[in-house]
Amino acid sequence: MKTDVVLLHAPAVYDFRERPALFGPIADLVPATPVFDIYPLGLSTIAEYLERYGYFVRTVNLAYLMLQRKSFDPRRAVARLEPKLFGIDLHWMPHSQGAIEVARLCKELHPDIPIVFGGHSSSIYHEELLGYDCIDFVLRGDSTEEPFRQLMDAVSGGGWAGGRVRRDELFQSIPNLTWRDRSGATVVNELSYSPADFNAPALDFSYNMKSVIRYRDLLGAVPFKQWVSAPMSASIVCRGCTRNCVTCGGSATTYRKYFGRRRVAFRDPELIVRDLEHATKFIPGSVFLLNDPLMAGDDYMRELIVRLGRLGLKQSIGFELFSPPSEEILDLMAEHLNDWSLEISVESHDDELRRRFGKGHYTTADIEENVALALAKGVTRYDLFYLAGIPGQDADSVLDTARYLRGLYERCGNDKRLLAFVAPMTPFLDVGSIAFDNPEKYGYRLRARTVEEHRQLLREPSWKQIMNYESLALPTDDLGEVIYESALIVNDIKEEVGIADARTAEAMRKRIAVAKEMMDRVDGVLRRAATTGGGREEAFSALDAESQTMAESTLYESKDLNWPGRATLRNTLACLFFGIYEELMKLLTGGKRAATSAVHERWAAEQE
């Protein structure tokens, strides 16, 4: 089948199967394994947008394929691909080692095919990335669908030939593009494309199904490993943020400084609901709204809730919030939604620490009151996330947070719908965040600043050595000890409450003990190596099979982060008829029809 663009998602470390590491709890609070096999939703919006203009796009999740099958050969898989352009995401910095190695592989096998990088980290390091000869273009900013389309037009229109740019004039006007001209000089175009709203793209999950049918590739389009057992769909409320959490790479300051966004671009509530209505037709399980709708104001939130209610969804609808919602909003959710859940990253039980972090707009007492209120009004689950490693936080403070949860559960009647988590801020302090750009001010010492320095850290044998920062208030060795101790406290609390049964709680204690023992063993090898010289390979060899928990969380049961769902007859029939329709259209058009879904058809009608 024709392919114009192949979007590749790389594992965090390209050779993780041959060079094991004790990744520890670096991905315990995200729905992915420590090789970060989840690809950003921006790949889906880019693919959908390009297909509107007739480009055939294929998404290949190399990280998932490498996890799923030991026999999978990424080199052979990439060799079989023959697009006009490769796109590789470097959105999260933990992908820096794998992303560049995959780019090198693509360039080695296909020296004449251009390679473009994109994502938040790419935007920050766009000029350094052009220093790698395997990368030809970088698209900056948070909204690259239209610049990507213009780049494809330039490449397809004769601007690229023989493995290099041939017509400079075709690339000079593309906004947000960093590239090398015919002379090999790096050119940084103006960062001028930053739409005022987020209405042009669409999260069309049927595109993934279409890609599976078109390319006969069931596994390559899987978003992340746990999605197979706990499928879910999502919509994005906005691009940008009104908050300034100091360690966040998506703060208002970071967006303004690196992504050219001065105002948050919100998505029309009608379009959010359209995305979810279309997605839930095919995908069972929960639906999730990423980014806080309350940033747009109460009127926006009211409209969104009412419109979601009209869908009559039986699946759980999860809201990511940056502060506790008002009683009025909770009443609206209870009135209009059949099944609703809330999630807030609280960071600490200490109000002063939270204020320094950038979340002084609510208190611990506000959270306690809101949790109790939401539980009384019928919330399905209320997730609270606490971090270890935030500015000014010491070991005692982390343990106090863990112990505080016992009282919180007691105040809520030991309600099992409340789920609380304490995990380290790992593996990296977000590049581009306020604290990363001013580490001394916020009590950090950075161990990596450049892309290459981060890539080298990802080759280290243990999660403590991988970290790109050290908190002066909580040194790395102390963080390693306290995070396992706090996890044991939380595990005991969940057993007491009844969230975890005795068998599960005991299994978690054993898993934490193994992880801590392995961490100590690797630390000992590295200390001896520092004294005697050498020994790094010995540290890797010490990581026996018992330490390889890459497919599971270290501190928590992975199921605690998943919202279960079951396929319905409606889902099954919708997928069946969609597959038949796509196969029929492929036969009738000779495989030349790029845009087929209802989302595409509505968009085409709007253009006429």
Q: What's the pLDDT tens digit per position in 94-148?
A: 999 999 999 999 999 999 999 999 999 999 999 999 999 999 999 999 999 999 9
Q: Read off the pLDDT band of 149 (50, 70, 90).
A: very high
362: helix, strand or coil = coil
Give the separation between CA 59 and CA 43, rounded to whole angstroms.
8
The encoded tokens of residue 448 equal: 């990596």
Return the bridge partners of 88, or none: 8, 117
322-331 pLDDT, tens digit each: 999 999 999 9
Backbone angles phi, psi at 187, to 5 degrees: -120, 130
CA distances from 589 to 204, 548, 586, 592, 594 (A): 22, 48, 5, 5, 10
Peptide bond into 427 cis (omega under 30): yes
Q: Read off the pLDDT band of 72 (50, 70, 90).
A: very high
Give the separation between CA 533 and CA 536, rounded to whole angstroms.
9
Q: Read off the pLDDT band of 555 (50, 70, 90).
A: confident
CA distances from 489 to 141, 174, 493, 497 (A): 41, 54, 6, 12
Strands (E), 348-400: 381-388
One-letter amino acid at 184 equals G
Mean pLDDT of 338-360: 96
Contact status, residue 37 vs residue 139, Cβ threshold 8 Å? no
CATH dotted code for 5-199: 3.40.50.2300
Please give, one letter per residue, the 3-state secondary structure of 427-466: CCCCCCCHHHHCCHHHCEEECCCCHHHHHHHCCCCEHHHH
Residue percentage of the chain with pLDDT more than 90: 69
Contact status, residue 321 vs residue 313, Cβ threshold 8 Å? no
CA distances from 471 to 327, 391, 395, 477, 516 (A): 38, 7, 11, 11, 20
Which of the residue ranges 316-320, 416-420, 518-522, 590-594 would you say has the lowest mean pLDDT?
590-594
218-264 pLDDT, tens digit each: 788 888 888 777 788 889 999 999 999 999 999 999 999 999 999 99
The interaxial angle of helices 327-336 and 364-376, nearest 10 deg, is: 30
Task: State the pTM of this model.
Answer: 0.92
374-397 pLDDT, tens digit each: 999 999 999 999 999 999 999 999
The encoded tokens of residue 600 equal: 């595409």
Contact status, residue 124 vs residue 431, Cβ threshold 8 Å? yes
Mean pLDDT of 363-367: 97
